[in-house]
Chain A
Amino acid sequence: MTQQNNDSAASANPFAGFVHPLFTEMMKSWQGEFDALGKKVAAMPKVAEAAMKATKGCTPHDVIMSESPVRLLRYTGKADKRHGTPVLFVFALVNRPYVLDLLPHKSVVRQYLNAGFDVYMIDWGVPSPADATKTLHDYVEGHLHRAVERVLADTGSDQINLVGYCMGGTMSAMYAALHPHLVRNLVLMAAPIDWSSRESLLLSWTDPKYFDVDGIVDTFGLIPPSFLGNSFGMLKPVANYFQKWQGFYDKMEDEKFLEDFFAMEVWSNDNIPLSGEVYRDFVKYGFQQNLLVKGQFPLGKKRINLGNITCPVLNLTADADHLVLPCQSTLLKECVSSTDYTEMSVKAGHIGLSVGSRAHKEIWPRATAWMAERSEPLVTA
């Protein structure tokens, strides 16, 4: 009777006799995941330790000039000095510059130190409400120019090698156009020069029809760091807010990965406010009117003419850069008068250009060699 009941139940329920073996097979395929989960839980103390250890920059340096909040840093390395022309790094005003010296194996600063250059960097500092009305002119012709003069005085050189990153690259190009006799070589890293491409999301967002830059600057004075940080984050929301953490979960037992991850996290969350007037200048004359490539970008009482740049130019771009598309940088070739113009590109994103392993293997040894060939040799007494 019971056997009969079971048979009838089996014929009524097609899953009978299927579910148990299926469940057993599933457990087998998920066993590896459960084991991995255990390892991840066990790795939590290491994660906390790595988070605590994350540092801001790794190469020793001295502060040789200070104009609150701007500081000029001189890096000290162990390599012998081989070149007479010093290198000055100019970073963007919207983040901290130590991304160029994030970790010993990911430091652009060390690449130049090891190649035998004197290396300096401008740290723009954290602007206070007193800096809200500082214009791009104040930064380029004020702080940057005084930093260049200080570096030249410090090294006894007549000219300088400028390396500008992102917005700092645009500022460096402006400086080189205004003071061509002071710049020996100009290296630009993912520097926006042309804002005509409609591919960039930032350009859609800053369309004057939808974006009231005057309203923002007049209301806030200093542009809040959260506003800038979230704008950049939202350019790739899925990658920045989901996939990043998925990647973290997948690799969280790896100590090397944790070191890199937290160094990067500390930097990317270390946003600083931006002077409203600089923001207004950049958005209006750059993003909205694209005046730089037209030779019409106003800086104080002058207009920037990139055609004044005659020094050798190295333009570095990142293929997967979503913040500054390569096409926004490469138009520089058409604008400058330099006969010695070189482009190099790497498969990386905007920040990968300075911290990516591929960039440090493929681009930076070539970029430092490029500069070494074009710098004054060191004259020893």
Chain B
Amino acid sequence: MAEQQGNTPPHSPNVDPMTAFWRDVWARSAASMPNMAGMPNMPGMPGMPGMAGIPGMGAMPGMDPAAAASFMSPEVLRRMQGAFFEAMAQYAEQYMRSPQFLEAMKRSMDQALQFKRQMDDFLKSNMANAFETASGGANTEILGAIRQTSAQLQSHIDSQLSKLDARIANLEQAAGQSRHEASRPHPTTSPSAPPAATQAGGKKASK
């Protein structure tokens, strides 16, 4: 716990977390109650106010009863509660970041997963077979297999479609070219044109 106390703690790192937490609650309570200023410190806890801030414990004989009752008013309790929640929220957050908590989380999660696996195996191998029925795990496996097959089919169809697209594009390109060539004005064959050119063109066309 000492490691995670580096963030905020207004106390000595040697103090154990529980004591530190309650000291913090007291300090926050005191800070929220101005009429506690000047109260004597808690014996052995420098910086900590005495019992005056605790409902029912601040009233002393000889005080004005109205003033004494103000230590036990709903408002004081609300402030105490607020201080308690604030301190608890801060310490809970610190704790949930600590390696101790993370280790504990890991252990409990590993155990939960182990238990779930054992339970699933038991239900699948024993109960489902005994009752000749499908277990939840078996259903999931079947659904997974169907999904895998459908994904494979989908990807196969996609690849075939893209091949088809490529072919169509090639065909359209070729058709476009031939249309372009067809629409080009034919060179007028002059009687003086060499017969070799016509021959070559004829060969090309036959290819």
Contacts and interface: CB of A to CB of B under 8 A. Distances in A.
B144 A132 contact: yes
B96 A201 contact: yes
A167 B109 CA distance: 24
B97 A204 contact: yes
A236 B147 contact: no
A8 interface: no
Contacts of A246: 81, 85
Interface stretch (B12-20, B27-35, B58-66, B183-191): B58-66
B167 to A, nearest CB: 22
A243 B69 contact: no
Interface in A56-81: none
A381 interface: no
Contacts of B63: 18
Interface string B118-148: 0010000000000000001001100110111
A129 B70 contact: no
A199 B92 CA distance: 15
Contacts of A209: 102
Of the four ranges (under 10, 10 to 19, 20 to 34, 35 or more), the interface on chain B belongs to 35 or more
Contact of A212 (B70, B110, B147): B110
Interface string B65-90: 11011101110000001000100110
Of the four ranges (under 10, 10 to 19, 20 to 34, 35 or more), the interface on chain A belongs to 35 or more
Given A21-B65, A132-B140, A210-B105, A238 B92 contact: yes
A237 interface: yes
A220 interface: yes
24 contacts: A18-B61, A18-B63, A22-B59, A24-B65, A28-B69, A129-B140, A130-B143, A130-B147, A132-B143, A133-B144, A204-B96, A205-B96, A205-B102, A209-B102, A210-B102, A210-B106, A215-B113, A216-B113, A219-B120, A238-B85, A239-B89, A242-B85, A242-B88, A246-B85
Interface of B: 59, 61-63, 65-66, 68-70, 72-74, 81, 85, 88-89, 92-93, 96-97, 102-103, 105-106, 109-110, 113, 116-117, 120, 136, 139-140, 143-144, 146-148
5 tightest CB-CB pairs across the interface, nearest first?
Answer: A25-B69, A21-B65, A238-B89, A130-B143, A14-B61
Given A28-B69, A215-B110, A216-B113, 4 more contacts: A18-B61, A18-B65, A237-B89, A238-B85
